[in-house]
Amino acid sequence: MAAVVPIVAAIIGDAPAHGARTAFADAPAGTYAVFARPEATADVIMVAPATSPGEATEVVRVPHLPGFMSSGAVSPDGRRVALVTVDAGTPARPGASLLVADLDSGALDRLAVAVDPLQTPLWTPDGQAVVVTRNTVAESGLSTVTFVRVTLAGSREAVLFQNENVLGAYAIGFDPAGRLVSVVIDGRGSTVARDGTEGGLLSTQITRDWRLSPDGTRLAYVESDVTAGLHYRAQVAALDGGGAGDAQAQAAGGAGQQMGVAWAPGAAAPLFGREPEAVAPGAVAAQAAAAGFDIPLAYAPGGGALAVQHWSGSSFAEPGRMEIAVVGERAPGILPGAARFYGWAAR
């Protein structure tokens, strides 16, 4: 426990006080990428304008155990970032907290402890709470995953539901009725659920890169097919009806392998990243203009910019070096030192 104390003290003591202002608080109107530049024992949370990604500004430093990075998501209003940060325990037995960083003040608040470190926090649509999971692993190696809603006001927690005897369970987003969409991975494969109620089998395989469409009615994802060697296949499932067994999955990627998903505002279909030799209409636009390949992360709210992971290699098997970049109509460029992209903030 003694090793935890310096980390906790750093978060409480070093973060700017409420009422302070960061340089971002007075930034001009526009769209900004929010990302993290890693250091040995801290993540430096940065913002950069979509029109000039190289002009990044530091907002706050988030301490963590050596060897880890925070996962995160920008709030619906673009003013805060929810972070899952490994700030307790040891590298062999890490403990994570749910933190919220205010982009205008740089203040850092801890809302919950003992959350699963291998997750991305999910904001509720109103921006007043964050959904996270806690994971209890049995001797069998299977887990009980508990979904928890944590409010910003007072850090109050409410258990939403549990999934037992699973390999993993992940919060994805909310459907038009406000129900939490999650994906459960167990011995059957990958199943979609809403508010904990199963809604159909997505795949007999493990899936990844799940993204809901802007209207919440379709789920795009990548199937990790191991029936004949590992192959990544793009899929889209319609989530109409709301009853059990209603998910309707269809292949969406065509030839070659796909990885990474992004939905443009109002788009009829998602965008998938592809290996260079399989570039086709609908793939990330930057791929045809540079060596390597791009994995899409997220479109800016207006759709004029897209954050991507740019890999210098020739294939998913030999990806090379990764940089996070903004692909835009006016000024694409690299986000300096970025290792994690958290989302977009609009002022």
Same domain, 226 and 342: no
pLDDT at 108 over 90: yes
Residues 6+ apart with CB under 8 A from 93: none
Q: Which of 198, 232, 252 is the last residue of a domain?
A: 252
Per the prediction, the chain carries an average pLDDT of 88
105 and 201 both lie in a single domain = no
% pLDDT > 70, the chain: 85
Q: How far apart are CA 148 and CA 115, in angstroms?
A: 9
Residues 191, 265 within the same domain: no
Asked whether residue 217 carries a pLDDT value surpassing 50, the answer given is: yes
Both 224 and 238 in one domain: the answer is: yes
Residue 21 has pLDDT above 90, yes or no: no
CB atoms within 10 A of CB 264: 18
Query: Residue 288: what pLDDT?
Result: 41
> Two tokens at 13?
């003591």
Mean predicted confidence (pLDDT) in 127-146:
95
Q: Minimal CA–CA distance to 49: which of 27, 64, 71, 69?
A: 27
Q: What number of other Cβ atoms are within 10 A of residue 124's Cβ?
A: 18
329 and 263 both lie in a single domain: yes
Q: Do 237 and 267 reside in the same domain of the chain?
A: no
Show Cβ contacts of residue 247 under 8 Å, excluding neighbours closer than 6 positions. 192, 199, 200, 201, 202, 219, 237, 238, 239
One domain for residues 148 and 293: yes
Q: Do 15 and 129 reside in the same domain of the chain?
A: yes
* pLDDT at 236 (0 to 100): 95
Residue 341 zone, left/alpha/beta (φ > 0; ψ -120 to 50; rest): beta
Q: What is the pLDDT of residues 154-200, one digit of tens each?
A: 879 999 999 999 999 999 999 999 999 999 999 999 999 999 999 89
Q: Count of domains in the chain? A: 2
Say yes or no: 103 and 196 in one domain: no
The stretch 194-211 carries a mean pLDDT of 95
User: How confident is the model at residue 20, as a pLDDT?
Assistant: 74
Last residue of a domain, one of 217, 252, 287: 252
Last residue of a domain, one of 234, 252, 270: 252
Q: Among residues 106, 108, 104, which one has the least CA distance to residue 85?
A: 108
* Domain shared by 149 and 224, yes or no: no
Domain extent, residue 177, equals 168-252
> How much of the chain exceeds pLDDT 90, in percent?
74
φ and ψ of 28, to 5 deg = -60, 160
Q: If pLDDT is split at 50, 70 and 90, which confidence band does 18 have? A: low
Cα separation, 161 vs 148, whole angstroms: 8
Indicate whether 196 and 143 sit together in one domain.
Answer: no
Output the pTM of the full model: 0.89
Residues 15 and 83 in one domain: yes
Q: Is the dihedral of CA 324, 327, 328, 331 positive or negative?
A: positive
The gap from C-alpha 340 to its chain's centroid, in whole angstroms, comes to: 9
Check residue 227 and give its pLDDT: 87
Reported as a single tens digit per residue, the pLDDT across 244-300 is 345 555 666 666 899 999 999 999 899 999 987 644 544 554 444 457 899 999 999
Nearest Cα residue to 165 out of 128, 194, 200, 136: 136
Residues 329-339 have pLDDT tens digits of 665 799 999 99
Give the pLDDT confidence score for residue 246 in this predicted structure. Answer: 55
pLDDT digits (tens, 9 = 90+) for 46-92: 999 999 999 999 999 999 999 999 999 999 999 999 999 999 999 88
CA distance 77 to 91: 34
